[in-house]
A and B are shown apart, each in its own frame.
Chain A
Amino acid sequence: DTGVSQDPRHKITKRGQNVTFRCDPISEHNRLYWYRQTLGQGPEFLTYFQNEAQLEKSRLLSDRFSAERPKGSFSTLEIQRTEQGDSAMYLCASSAAQGRTQELFFGEGSRLTVL
């Protein structure tokens, strides 16, 4: 399967714990995005990488959130000191470097439940 891969698919944690999600984009894609989606809402933009450079972070991304893409390939999203309000589906997407660069392809998501 050459689609976007996310891990873990499900994570249950206690409030105050740290969690990390990993995303492996489509191999030829150089742009990588993180979104968050809660029930009944559309995905909300969190942050965006082009290669290893993090080009934008949403105001939604508090200082408890950090994302990296150290070698321009896979990315990690870490949430420190989780809160119940962090419970959501965390979606990763990637897009091509050339051509239809604005067409995003999503992974299956990582669902976080904070107890």
Chain B
Amino acid sequence: QKEVEQNSGPLSVPEGAIASLNCTYSDRGSQSFFWYRQYSGKSPELIMSIYSNGDKEDGRFTAQLNKASQYVSLLIRDSQPSDSATYLCAVNDYKLSFGAGTTVTVRA
């Protein structure tokens, strides 16, 4: 089993809709969780970090963490064409382990 698994994409949403991205992880002792955005041909960019159970909101992004279920999600509200990218879930003990990513396309 891979350490970090993300729902397979690609995910296509209309402009203005909510994009929902899911991620599960295998190490129950993991404490830190991150979402990175990666545009095609570019490097990953940190957009959200979450450390405790519940929701964390930052602008149009909301990260949700449920450690009991070993599940972390990212919601993108009011999706914009500029949100079209691959979103990488990452889990950290002392290094980041990444999922394969979910590619999101926002249709204008």
Contact = CB atoms under 8 A, between A and B. Distances in A.
Interface in A89-115: 89, 91, 93, 100, 102-109
B57 interface: no
A41 B46 contact: no
Nearest to A44: B98
Interface residues of B, number: 20
Contacts of B96: 33, 43, 45, 93, 102, 104
A42 B94 contact: no
A43 B44 contact: yes
B12 interface: no
Contact of B42 (A33, A42, A45, A108): A108
Say whether chain B's binding surface is mostly helix, strand, loop, or mixed. Answer: strand
Contacts of B69: none
A43 to B, nearest CB: 5
Contacts of A105: 46
Interface string A4-22: 0000000000000000000
Interface of A: 33, 40-45, 48, 55-56, 89, 91, 93, 100, 102-109
Given A102-B34, A106-B43, 8 more contacts: A45-B95, A48-B94, A89-B43, A102-B92, A103-B34, A104-B46, A106-B45, A109-B43
Interface of B: 4, 32, 34, 42-46, 49, 88, 90, 92, 94-101
